[in-house]
Structure 1
Amino acid sequence: MSLKRQLLIVGNGDFAELWEYYVRNYFSQFNVAAFTVDAAYIQKPFLNGIPVVPFESLQKQYPPAEYEILIAIGYKQMNIVRAKKVQECGAMGYNMPNFVHPSAYSDKDVVLGKANLILERTVLAHGVKIGDGNILWNSVNLSHEAQIGDFNYLSPGTILAGKANVGSYCFFGIGSSVRGNRMIKDYTLVGAEAYINEETISYGVYVPARTVVLPNKKSTDLPFQR
């Protein structure tokens, strides 16, 4: 019987707990040995029965030659917080594998960097290239030859059409989409359900028209309810 690979999860919030669940249920080659955060953010010594240890002493307690790391940090500060931890862990010598949910589809020529987290039913089509430290939530669809850089966050249902090109440190809300052959520049924020038809500007914020409540209307008054 082969020994399991020992894994440390950076984070102690809901996202970290979620990834402990995924590792335990879908990545049986790994054992979660500990959660780790900066000492100032430790709220309790254990999370789901697993120790929470200070990041500052991580190398000494859990040497890089014996442990690997999963960065379970979301999109805070346009993904900069996650990026810093990926860079720190890399400088310390830790391996940060990709975690691709078994229900995701990835074509044979897809290129992945490191420290990417890819969830259920995501589609990575022919020629897709993905950098480091990206988070792709469930049902994201990257069409043929789409590219994304580093430290992006794609919420559930995000769609990139063929040859769309995303820079780094971008955020895509639920159900957002990008037309093919369009460039999404660094630090672009695309709101939920927004459609990007043209190249964006760096640090741009793109949101669709808001949903409104119809005044003096009840749902039961509408024709299809009769």
Structure 2
Amino acid sequence: MKKKKLVIFGTDDFAQLAKFYFTADSEYEVCGFVVDKEYLIEDSFCNLPAVALEDAEEKFPPSEYDMFIAIAYTHLNEVREQKYHEYKRRGYKLASYISSKATCWYEGNEFGDNVFVFEDNTIQPYAKIGSNTILWSGNHIGHHAEIGNHVFITSQVVIAGRVVIGDNTFIGINATINDHIRIAERNIIGARALIARNTKPNSMYVDKITKKVLQNVNDSTFFFGKSVKSVGGDKDGV
């Protein structure tokens, strides 16, 4: 079967990984890369052509190529969000990748575009994954959970049933979100954090050990200038 043509935005580690996974485990043939002009150092990447954004539509016309935006969580996913909207306006269909080594029943599941699901994720029935959202390897997404748009979930994260994750949220390694919890938009959930209550928008929640480290370096307004809220420990959550 003839494969669809794909071009990837980005020339960093994530772009290289995306190229590997799309090539090894999808219906796509990766044909090249696109970056902003100021980041175009060489005219090739991973032995494929790399072009500046200004030349993308001529080299890789949207009528012939789909696009994947391979940007991680820079500025709380806002950079990836900007490129997502820009390339949709340019007429590109944005591709998604769901690893064949992920456990996904597809019963009642919904996936947006420009989604990337690495291996060993478990996505239970009726869970919904929003557009432009990245699930790194080894997470549990519980039944009827709703993951918003422009979200980045790292690894070994447990999201229980009926959880709602707001847009532009980052969830760190080994975090746990109890069932029926609502995570507001633009949250940072730190590594190892236990979230047992609903959160507030534009806030960061970290475990006690991490909070102590941040305070020791006088960095309690880390990321977006908001106070760091401590969670975790033997008994307490948010």
1:3 CA drift (Å): 2.2
Tell me what 2:227 maps to.
Answer: none
Tell me what 2:4 maps to.
Answer: 5
1:26 CA drift (Å): 1.5
Which AA in structure 2 matches 1:197?
Answer: A
TM-score by length of 2: 0.85
Which AA in structure 1 matches 2:3?
Answer: K
1:130 CA drift (Å): 1.4
Aligned residues: percent identity?
Answer: 29
Tell me what 1:142 maps to.
Answer: 141
Tell me what 1:66 maps to.
Answer: 64
Q: Does 1:132 align with 2:131?
A: yes
1:209 CA drift (Å): 2.0
Tell me what 2:43 maps to.
Answer: 45
Hey, what's the Cα distance between the residues in 1 that align with 2:80 and 2:28?
22
1:171 CA drift (Å): 0.2
Which secondary structure state, in structure 2, belongs to the residue aligned with residue 207 of structure 1?
A: strand
Hey, what's the Cα distance between the residues in 2 that align with 1:42 and 1:54?
6
Q: Does 1:181 align with 2:180?
A: yes
Tell me what 2:153 maps to.
Answer: 154
Q: Does 1:20 align with 2:19?
A: yes
Hey, what's the Cα distance between the residues in 1 that align with 2:59 and 2:49?
12
Q: Does 1:115 align with 2:114?
A: yes
Q: Structure 2: which 5+ runs fail to align?
A: 213-238
1:183 CA drift (Å): 0.5
Which AA in structure 2 matches 1:90?
Answer: K
1:62 CA drift (Å): 1.2
Deviations 1:168-218 (A, max 9, x none): 000000111101111100000000111101111111111112279xxxxxx
Hey, what's the Cα distance between the residues in 1 that align with 2:96 and 2:47?
25
Backbone CA RMSD of aligned residues? 1.2
Asked which structure has the greater CA Rg, the reply is 1
Which AA in structure 1 matches 2:32?
Answer: A
Hey, what's the Cα distance between the residues in 2 that align with 1:97 and 1:60?
19
Hey, what's the Cα distance between the residues in 1 that align with 2:6 and 2:110?
23
1:149 CA drift (Å): 1.0
Which AA in structure 1 matches 2:81?
Answer: A
1:5 CA drift (Å): 0.9
Which secondary structure state, in structure 2, belongs to the residue aligned with residue 210 of structure 1?
A: helix
Hey, what's the Cα distance between the residues in 1 that align with 2:55 and 2:156?
38
Hey, what's the Cα distance between the residues in 2 that align with 1:62 and 1:88?
15
Which AA in structure 1 matches 2:85?
Answer: Q
Tell me what 1:199 maps to.
Answer: 198
Which AA in structure 2 matches 1:72?
Answer: A
Tell me what 1:76 maps to.
Answer: 74
1:76 CA drift (Å): 0.2
- 1:210-225 mapped onto 2 (5 Å cutoff): 210=209
1:97 CA drift (Å): 2.1
Which secondary structure state, in structure 1, belongs to the residue aligned with residue 58 of structure 2?
A: helix
1:58 CA drift (Å): 1.0
Hey, what's the Cα distance between the residues in 1 that align with 2:31 and 2:86?
19
Count of matched residue positions in the alignment of Structure 1 and Structure 2: 210
1:87 CA drift (Å): 0.6
Tell me what 2:104 maps to.
Answer: 106
Hey, what's the Cα distance between the residues in 2 that align with 1:109 and 1:145?
9
Deviations 1:84-113 (A, max 9, x none): 111111111111122001011112210111
Which secondary structure state, in structure 2, belongs to the residue aligned with residue 82 of structure 1?
A: helix
Which AA in structure 2 matches 1:63?
Answer: P
Which AA in structure 1 matches 2:65?
Answer: Y
